[in-house]
A and B are shown apart, each in its own frame.
Chain A
Amino acid sequence: MTNQKSALRVAFPYTIPVMAGYLVLGTAYGILMNSKGLSLIWILVASIFAYAGSMQFVAVSLLASAFDPLGAFLMTLMVNARHLFYAISMLGKYRGSGRIKPYLIFSLTDETFSIVCSAEPPQGTSRKWFYFFISLLDHSYWIAGSVLGGILGSLIEFDTKGIDFVLTALFVVILINQWRSTKNHLPAMIGIASALLCRIIFGASNFIIPSMLLILLLMTLLKRPMERGINK
C-alpha cells in the first residue's frame, strides 16, 4: 500500500497542467451536453466509459443529427486513429503492469499520453503505479469537470469563449520541453510539417489519417537520421 501511496504522491504534480485543462474543458463539455438536453446520468456515463476528451465534443455534434450507428463508429475511428500511435509508443513502457494494464490502455487520452510518454518515475517509485495514478487522476479531473458543467448548466452565464486554447497551450509547452531535451529535431519537425501539409491539402476534417500515413512513410525512409541522438 505504501508503494502505491508514494506513487500517487509522485504522480500528482505531473498531472496539474492536465487538471487545469480538464476541469475547464470538462466543465465546457458538461455545459454543452446539458444544453442538448442530456441529464447528469448521461454526462457521467459518457465521461466514465466513452472517455476520449476531444472525441466527446465530436460525439455531441453527432447527437444533433439522426441516429446512425455505423456513421458514429467510423467517425470515432477516424477522430481517434492517432491513438494507435500512442499505443505503439507505450507498448514497451506498459509491459508487465498486470491487472491494471487494461485500465492504462483504456484511459490513454491525448493529454495522458502527453505526460506518460515523457515522464519517468523517480528511482524507487513503481513504474506501473506511477502511470496508473497519472491516468486515474486525469480521468477523475475530466469526470469532475463534466459533472460540474452539467450541474452549473444554465445556472450561471460566463463567457468561456477561447478557453479550449488551454489544451493547445499544454501541447505547445510539451513541444518546447521535448525540443530542449534532444539535439535531433527531425522527428518533431516531421510531425509538424506532415500535419501542416495534409491540413492544407485535405482540409480540417480529413487530415489526421493522411498525416499519420505520411509520418509513417517518412519514418520508414528516414530511419537513420531520425534515430540519431534520441534517448533510448
Chain B
Amino acid sequence: MNYTTPQLIIFFGIVAFGTLLTRALPFILIPEKKEIPKFLKYLADVLPFTIIGLLVVYCLKDVSFVNTPHALPEIISIAVIVVLHLWKKNTLLSIGGGTVLYMILIQYVFK
C-alpha cells in the first residue's frame, strides 16, 4: 500500500459515497410524500425472498466444482446446516455448527 494520506481520504470517500448511493437512490427517487408505484410495491413484497437466494450464490461464487475438492466442503457443510436447522430450529447452533464444520473440513480434511 503506497497511498498518500490525501489519496486515502479520497479513496475511502469514494467507496463511502458509492455505497451510500446504491442504498439511497430508490429513497431519493421515491420521497415520503410520493406514492410508491404499484410495480415497486410488488417488487418490495417479493424481492426479499429472491435476494437471499442471490446472496447465497454470491457467497459461493468462487467455489469450483471442477477443481479438487469439488466443492465438497461447501456441499457437506450446507447439507449439515439444513438438517441441523430443520431438526433443532436453533439459528445460532446451525450457523455456528456449520461454520466450525467448514473450517475443520478445509483446514484438516480437504487441505
Contact = CB atoms under 8 A, between A and B. Distances in A.
Contacts, number: 244
The binding surface of chain B is classed by DSSP as helix
Contacts of A52: 15, 19
Contacts of A174: 52
A165 B44 contact: no
Interface string A42-78: 1001100111100110010011100101001100110
A77 B18 contact: yes
B26 to A, nearest CB: 4
B57 interface: yes
Contacts of B56: 168, 171-172, 175, 192, 195
A67 B11 contact: yes
Chain A interface size, under 10 / 10 to 19 / 20 to 34 / 35 or more: 35 or more
A169 B15 contact: no
B32 A96 contact: yes
In this complex, the member of B18, B21, B96 whose beta carbon has the largest number of chain A beta carbons within 10 angstroms is B18
A76 to B, nearest CB: 3
A170 B56 CA distance: 9
A84 interface: yes
Contact of B49 (A113, A161, A191): A191
A67 B102 contact: no
Contacts of A204: 61-62
Interface in A213-231: 215, 219-220, 223, 226-227, 230
B64 to A, nearest CB: 9
Contacts of A230: 45-46, 49
9 contacts: A42-B12, A76-B14, A83-B19, A87-B24, A87-B26, A95-B32, A170-B95, A175-B52, A207-B61
